[in-house]
Chain A
Amino acid sequence: MRFMLLFSRQGKLRLQKWYLAMSDKERKKMVRELMQVVLARKPKMCSFLEWRDLKVVYKRYASLYFCCAIEGQDNELITLELIHRYVELLDKYFGSVCELDIIFNFEKAYFILDEFLMGGDVQDTSKKSVLKAIEQADLLQEVWSGSSADKNDEVDFLFCTYLPLALALSCHFMGILQGLEERETTLWYLFCSSNNYSDQL
């Protein structure tokens, strides 16, 4: 795959992932052109089109267009499945994902994409595995931030129902727990819901 774009029906870009080196100006031009072409397609048309020297596979989910540019020997039908898998991952992560989720949490959409694809190819074909990795990375964000001495950070203590074994074994986490007072340790639970954990951003 050369690149993937997500954009709305109004032509607003929501995500762009490029797997080839290109200047910003050229990228903007390509995005503009491709958006025009795809948005002009009627609903009954097929999901594939030829554009420049690439094949473009696109699918519309509610108000968002998911657009992938693939090379000549790539399989278009499996790319459709790939797009669907990404949407499923987003859906599982955000819980019934909608465009607003992707707008307000664009960095998380990127994180999920980067856990699913690398260099344009699928890293892991198991949905469960990808989601678990994201989950644990998110936890790592929280744990780490909890160790910050900066109490002004408005970080609430988070509650969680379980402690992933892998994380518990991570020496950083142990170090953090050791550094805290006992009172804080007992109160310290990590709540595994992405929508609710507080923002460092």
Chain B
Amino acid sequence: MPAPIRLRELIRTIRTARTQAEEREMIQKECAAIRSSFREEDNTYRCRNVAKLLYMHMLGYPAHFGQLECLKLIASQKFTDKRIGYLGAMLLLDERQDVHLLMTNCIKNDLNHSTQYVQGLALCTLGCMGSSEMCRDLAGEVEKLLKTSNSYLRKKAALCAVHVIRKVPELMEMFLPATKNLLNEKNHGVLHTSVVLLTEMCERSPDMLAHFRKNEKLVPQLVRILKNLIMSGYSPEHDVSGISDPFLQVRILRLLRILGRNDDDSSEAMNDILAQVATNTETSKNVGNAILYETVLTIMDIKSESGLRVLAINILGRFLLNNDKNIRYVALTSLLKTVQTDHNAVQRHRSTIVDCLKDLDVSIKRRAMELSFALVNGNNIRGMMKELLYFLDSCEPEFKADCASGIFLAAEKYAPSKRWHIDTIMRVLTTAGSYVRDDAVPNLIQLITNSVEMHAYTVQRLYKAILGDYSQQPLVQVAAWCIGEYGDLLVSGQCEEEEPIQVTEDEVLDILESVLISNMSTSVTRGYALTAIMKLSTRFSCTVNRIKKVVSIYGSSIDVELQQRAVEYNALFKKYDHMRSALLERMPVMEKVTTNGPTDIVQTNGETEPAPLETKPPPSGPQPASQANDLLDLLGGNDITPIIPTVPTSKPASAGGELLDLLGDLNLTGAPPSAPASVPQLSQPPFLLDGLSSQPLFNDIASGIPSITAYSKNGLKIEFTFERSNTNPSVTVITIQASNSTELDMTDFVFQAAVPKTFQLQLLSPSSSIVPAFNTGTITQVIKVLNPQKQQLRMRIKLTYNHKGSAMQDLAEVNNFPPQSWQ
């Protein structure tokens, strides 16, 4: 059997392979040779074969069949074997393989070997990849070596102990006695690794931390060592660019940070040395800056005096002006951490930070952007916004979304005027319109609605913006919505803030139709556009026919969403023309919904969803659902929540009769009442349905709640009867019955109700829209009220109907709810 090919030879051969396939072939051949060599248990060349295997493993080829061979090498007496064996173990084995446990005995023996380099190998391997079981078994050996006088072994044992503690934290106590004299060493290696060990112990266990602070007087020791490092002269062995052992300095500073955190005494003891390091360290090279950086981190984290903190921030400020990118990056990161606590100090460096927005490096730009947003306040908002908008223009796409959101937030908090706010938003929409987040559109719409005096100006600017380019969806959506709402202002040229433009109704419809047709518009945008066109039918005077035509065309659109809207709007034109103006009225000023905090009650003010919700016309069923905006309009005030409109079903008119029957018979045994049958299947808030789905709704009526007469006027009487849900005590179900004692029927009867903010209301479909005369029948309708805070029920009702040839409408407040209905 010829000697296996040498390692360097193999490497040379593999490198000559010109293609991946060629390389694979060579590797496979060699692997086969190695395998057979392993099978022959060849001791001489095992080392060589494993080394070759490690090379092939690095190239990405499988090498698991060498794992056991590594163990054999470790067990060998030859140093080369051990060296390669341990290397192989570290590269090929890890705690997932059971094989690794076989190493434990070998390592134990080698830890007690007579040659320190063998001991070193064993410590290194254990310290890099030892599993928890191995660590548990061998911790005692490591602890023994931690106490040896051989500094070569001591430093390795310290780092090995760090690994043991990381794997098996309970063993930390074991190493405590050995740490007593560690810092008395002269050898820097031992000092460094000891500091690492102490850091690990203090970080992991607050008890240890307290112990080291008080009993061991660690802080003075560390201060002394650090002082020696700084004050002592040139030491060639540890010098790096004129600084003595920077690695040790940095580690000591880090340990001081942990010791001084939240502890006044320790912080006090290190104030001087920190100031000394901060002022004396040479900053011309990276090394010095590394130490200063660590010092700054320490100063900011401990309870340092204010002078020291200012010194630290000034160091960071100087870093910002450094030519070296890495230093600037590090400064920005640290400033970001401190901006909350030392806001004013950081503000002083604002201009430098803003300059960093123009840096070429992506990481620096991101940091600068985050920091800039943190520094915006009422005083600097105008200047900062200019810079940030310029940044938004020129930055990479990955930043635009975050930047846009940040700008919106800042503008919301600190806008000096409404006009400025709207201008800023316009600017963002036009420059980064496609990167704006989805929730920005409804927020903006809300903002625009609330700036009443700016409506004309806003709609004009938005119109001009999309005239040129309607590809940016959020911009187009907001613009479409505004034009739909305020198109009349646009056409009549009422703008005060700037020169009003001359726009005809046709031109406005042109642009909206282009948006509808354009391939760039998403389905959502098209929906906005169609609704806007519809709304203009009440605001424009000359072009109603054109609008009708557009709407009817889309009645056959492939897009289901558009089709549905168009069909419904068509119905609005045909059958419900009398309601059209009411439905398409101007949106009222909205209650402000905070973007961040959770709101207890969901305010469905219709604007958080795309337009169709609030203008959804009544379906072809016999009864309309209450319209949110009409209600707000009528009942005024911001403390009334709108009703969630119900999806109507085609409920047979006799259902009301069944209900009456049920009540009349006092049927208590829980036969599922018919009222739930009238409950629509879709899109109802689950809490109200909870009481229905499994159990009969009605509770024991015998112990029932008295009914009340809510309204009685002009022959129309409305009674309320109450039930409480068994499963959900906050739900009250009110059944209204409307009866008519006059001689003529009341037709087109619509009942609407509103409740204060702390309640939620749901109206189900009424039984019919005609209240027959002479009390011959009633209209029944079910209202569900959610009252989680168990407050007294109050309700305002609005009634509209036709009677004796004229339209009647009335408003009333119902205050006489019996206590059992809401307590």
Q: Which residues of A contact B (CB under 8 A)?
A: 13-16, 19, 21-23, 28, 44-50, 73, 75-78, 80-82, 85, 103-104, 106-107, 110-111, 114-115, 118-119, 121-129, 133, 136-137, 140-141, 144-145, 148, 150, 152-153, 170-172, 199-201
Contact = CB atoms under 8 A, between A and B. Distances in A.
A16 B364 contact: no
Interface string B46-64: 0110010011001110000
B196 to A, nearest CB: 5
A201 B48 contact: yes
Contacts of A107: 7, 51, 54, 83-84, 87
B392 interface: no
Q: Which 3 A-B pairs have the closest CB atoms?
A: A77-B290, A124-B189, A46-B325
A128 B504 CA distance: 86
Contacts of A23: 94, 96
A48 B246 contact: no
Nearest to A46: B325
Contacts of B580: none
Nearest to B188: A125
B73 to A, nearest CB: 12
Contact of B289 (A14, A77, A129, A170): A77
A195 B245 CA distance: 30
A85 B95 CA distance: 30
B205 interface: no
B58 A13 contact: yes
Given A46-B363, A111-B83, A199-B7, A118 B159 contact: yes
Given A77-B293, A106-B58, A118-B128, A21 B329 contact: no
B128 A19 contact: yes
B5 to A, nearest CB: 11
Contacts of A127: 237
Interface of B: 3, 6-8, 11-12, 15, 44, 47-48, 51, 54-55, 58-60, 78-80, 83-84, 87, 90, 94-96, 114-115, 117, 120, 123-124, 127-129, 131, 152, 155-156, 159-160, 162-163, 188-189, 192-193, 196, 237-238, 240, 245-248, 250, 254, 286-287, 289-291, 293-294, 297, 325-330, 360-364
Contact of B6 (A114, A121, A201): A201
Given A78-B250, A121-B159, A171-B114, A129 B79 contact: no
A121 B193 contact: yes
A201 B47 contact: yes
Nearest to A201: B7
9 contacts: A45-B362, A75-B290, A78-B291, A106-B54, A121-B159, A121-B196, A148-B78, A170-B114, A200-B80
B78 A46 contact: no
Contact of A144 (B78, B96, B193, B250): B78
A21 B95 contact: yes
Contacts of A76: 326, 330
B703 to A, nearest CB: 60
Contacts of B83: 107, 111, 137, 141
B101 to A, nearest CB: 14
Contacts of A199: 6-8
Given A118-B159, A122-B247, A110 B48 contact: no
A103 B11 contact: yes
A134 B30 CA distance: 30
Chain B residues touching A, majority SS? helix
A145 to B, nearest CB: 6
Contact of B326 (A73, A80, A110, A144): A80
A193 to B, nearest CB: 16
Contacts of B237: 126-129
B44 A129 contact: no
B155 A46 contact: no
B375 to A, nearest CB: 21
Contacts of A104: 8, 11-12
Given A46-B364, A137-B83, A119 B290 contact: no
B317 to A, nearest CB: 17
B247 A106 contact: no
Given A49-B363, A111-B87, A21 B188 contact: no
Contacts of B58: 13-16, 106
Contacts of B123: 118
A121 B162 contact: yes
Contacts of B8: 104, 199, 201
Contacts of A153: 44
Contacts of B364: 46
Contacts of B287: 81
B325 A133 contact: no
Contacts of B193: 121-123
Contacts of A73: 254
A47 B326 contact: yes
Contacts of A115: 120
Contacts of A144: 78-80
